[in-house]
Amino acid sequence: MPISRRSLLLCSVSTIILSGLGVGTSRAHIKVGSNADDRKNLVQMIRVMYPHSRFPDGPYERTADAVIEKANKSPAKALMLRDGLRQLQSKSFNSLNDVAATEYLKGIEDSEFFQHVRGTTVVALYNDHEVWGLLGYEGSSFDKGGYINRGFNDLSWLPEPRITEYNG
């Protein structure tokens, strides 16, 4: 059966139009973290996982932003984070006391969501320069001449060492 020029053009144009209507997987991207409640739950989760009474909200909020930013780099991670945040929302995580929140987190500690938050937080939170100051960490010692003449031996909380003579 011969194909006419008209039917070939009609089929070609139809195929092009129909293929343009669909969204390919490369364009399908989920953005997580725009919801204020999700961000509050994530900040609370990080605060329960890494409790420091001296830390203000700033380092925890910047860490939550880092968790969200890392997840938004991959559609699969973004979907995983979105689902995890929905679970936190369904459990009213933000209103749980610390004991109940810790128990809930122990129950999900093997999940990909928990591991993503934990893995990103341990780096982002303790690499925050505001946290360094709160913990008494002065940063790298190399560019300041090392620790030997900068307080290496000022450990006042240790007892004085016993000095005994060795007669080998």
Query: Which residues, in sequence order, are CB contacts of 113 under 8 Å at separation 6+?
Result: 80, 81, 83, 84, 87
In a domain, 41, yes or no: yes
**101-123: per-residue pLDDT in tens?**
999 999 999 999 999 999 999 99
Task: Quote the tokens at residue 46.
Answer: 């990080």
pLDDT at 26: 47
Say how far residue 11 (Cα) sits from the centre of its chain: 49
Question: pLDDT at residue 136 above 50?
Answer: yes
Check: CB of residue 57 under 8 Å from CB of residue 43. Answer: yes
158 or 128, higher pLDDT: 128
Longest Cα separation, the chain: 109
Residue 28 pLDDT > 60:
no
Residue 78, domain member (yes or no): yes
Give the per-residue pLDDT at 137.
Answer: 84
Residue matched to tokens 């459990």: 91
Distance, CA of 64 to CA of 41 (rounded, Å): 9
Residue 87 resides in a domain: yes
Tokens 């195929």 correspond to 15
Domain containing 122: what range? 36-48+55-137
Number of domains in the chain: 1
Residue 114 domain-assigned (yes or no): yes
Whether residue 11 is contained in a domain is answered as no
Query: Looking at the whole model, is its pTM more than 0.85?
Result: no
Answer yes or no: is 146 within a domain: no
* 67 lies in some domain: yes
Task: Give the pLDDT confidence of 31-75 residue by residue, as tens digits.
Answer: 787 888 899 999 999 999 999 999 999 999 999 999 999 999 999
**5 belongs to a structural domain:** no
CA 37 vs. chain centroid, Å, equals 16
